[in-house]
Structure 1
């Protein structure tokens, strides 16, 4: 049954997420009437992750326009500078290809695709795997049993010069069959989550903050995260912890020397609050990209609290409860799903192991905002 207005249905049994039913007058969310779009935006800030089914026909132009509508201040470029995103020295180099006529929309996924899709020549995509990024790998026997990991928990953000996008939209065009299952394992607790192959995992920054002790909340509210310059190049040779939350600090360190990085300026290094305030709910969200952390600084005095190794360990300790089995939503993709998520309210991760010949095709859009997030005390 179609409705004249957009409706929001919270996901049953989840701590975040809602399903959106589009109104009868349009199936293009970028063309919603102001009243319905305001409902959509409020739902995003309240539920953090929105699922809009049956969006197979959504064009890159409409997807880009939708992102802009959520944040009119956003710059008209991808959330990263393309030359840095695709640098051979960056861990992001293989993560996607731009739609030629709308480069703010990236094609991500897995497999080889024939010429013709969105004006592309034949192209190949590679699904991110823990096998290329984690310090400790699953054995071949474990992989054969269908075990997998969170690849990298993150916020979509360049974390140098450009401000983090407010929203990311992710459109599933070709997805693994939903009845194919894999299992995420937690090595520190021996817990696990049964997921659809290729599910996208989300964890709430609000839940992360709420799970802190009173002392930790006070610390978080008064801490600034300093990110490394060109952080994805800085950590290109590093390996992640087994839960994908941060980087394993090794001796000698594998981080790139600052003098070997592309040209950078101190004024463009990102220094962001550890806690961001939700503009709709007023809730505090613990928001940090643990893999790119360089230092933690006291926001009141400017004094360094923790250098690289300790900063990673501190962030890991604070974020780990939020990615526990009871707190994570792993979206099982159906063809045509449009996932809209509040990039300043959640962290997310790729999951799953795909064979090289398996096809998966998504359109992803996130656009750098006109201003940094803030914490309101």
Structure 2
């Protein structure tokens, strides 16, 4: 399918499900594998205040283009960001966005942000020392880099030369006791100019992909599924991913592969009896393929770094190392450079991504003294994703 055909089809879908054109305008990103820019109706500054029809257009655009960008939102209040995020999934009302285990001292996510005191569902992310922000006098943010998470890291000389890595390809989800959020909103309040470039080297092929400093990378789960062979598509549709209890604590001593897709199996995972108290009923077992409710497309969706086992429809259960190798095999084609949208952050960008349709990854690193300030919000859904075969 050509880009032009895909765009026309997506536009037709949005028009059909919303009952025709609305004041909110959707502009597909030219030449990008996914994504669109949203133009708010005249007079609307706060996207959480959109009327129902315009919001429905925004929601369908999100589920169709998977990543949408609203410009000039640097002043968006945390309360508004939370309200906007909740509108994408009415079942998330009353849920909390971040599990307590995210702040567990053993969790690999423990340094990934600071909560806004008055709106704890909104996380403050970035790099550097911050003062007098959202009621917090002083705090320090640390941008995640592959140096603390990958088994093998780039040398200082390589990093000084501008090379970087995908940190960790994932979906936003606790993957224990809580259902994955439908949408994530990510707001760039203060970001360095996008003029500084970094390069991701693919160690298995030698390819290089140039991105702006600390770009956020996205790939389409639908494209990942489409890239599979017919045999693998059938197998994926009949596979469930089982996650261990407290998965981000379980993998705390393990290290990731150089592509950021999964973990190196060295027996460093914590035994279940050394994890915080857990319940069998809260173990997450999710289909490997999720169905997009607007386009009807199948999306290959998983957080392979956190996966424990794959279970086939015939009852076959793959062990941890085999599960990781299989997921890496299935996912690797989708992160080739031509399939990645790397968002070049500009101050005021509000990026909304369909968390049940894309995977994303942090990239890059900052030099001493460089700072970045962002707000992120996602709220656990009341329902698990489904696969309509």
Match of 2:54 among 33, 36, 48: 36
Q: How does 1:257-336 map to 2 (within 5 A)?
A: 257-298=271-312, 300-301=313-314, 303-336=315-348
> Paired residue for 1:355?
367
Residues 111 and 358, structure 1, Cα contact 8 Å, conserved in 2: yes
* Higher mean C-alpha deviation, range 30-39 or range 98-107: 30-39
Deviations 1:47-80, CA, capped at 9 Å, x for gaps: 0000100001111011000111100100434433
Deviations 1:245-294, CA, capped at 9 Å, x for gaps: 000011xx000010000000111000000000000000000001010010
Residues 170 and 365, structure 1, Cα contact 8 Å, conserved in 2: yes
TM-score if structure 2 supplies the norm length?
0.93
Runs of 4+ in structure 1 deviating by more than 4 angstroms, as ranges, are none
Q: How does 1:207-246 map to 2 (within 5 A)?
A: 207-246=223-262
What RMSD over aligned residues (CA atoms) do the two structures have, in Å?
Answer: 1.1
Match of 2:159 among 143, 152, 165: 143
> Paired residue for 1:94?
111
**Residues in 1 aligned to 2:170 and 2:353: alpha-carbon distance in whole angstroms:** 13
Residues 22 and 54, structure 2, Cα contact 8 Å, conserved in 1: no
Unaligned runs of 5+ in 2: 1-20
Match of 1:247 among 252, 263, 283: 263
Residues 344 and 373, structure 1, Cα contact 8 Å, conserved in 2: yes
Q: Secondary structure at the match of 1:23?
A: coil
Match of 1:127 among 127, 140, 143: 143
> Paired residue for 1:69?
87
**Residues in 1 aligned to 2:263 and 2:118: alpha-carbon distance in whole angstroms:** 36
Q: Secondary structure at the match of 1:208?
A: helix
**Residues in 2 aligned to 1:77 and 1:271: alpha-carbon distance in whole angstroms:** 20
> Paired residue for 2:15?
none
**Residues in 2 aligned to 1:189 and 1:77: alpha-carbon distance in whole angstroms:** 43
Residues 167 and 362, structure 2, Cα contact 8 Å, conserved in 1: yes
TM-score if structure 1 supplies the norm length?
0.96
- In structure 2, relative to structure 1, the CA distance for the partners of 1:90 and 1:213 (3 Å cut) is same
Q: Secondary structure at the match of 1:190?
A: coil
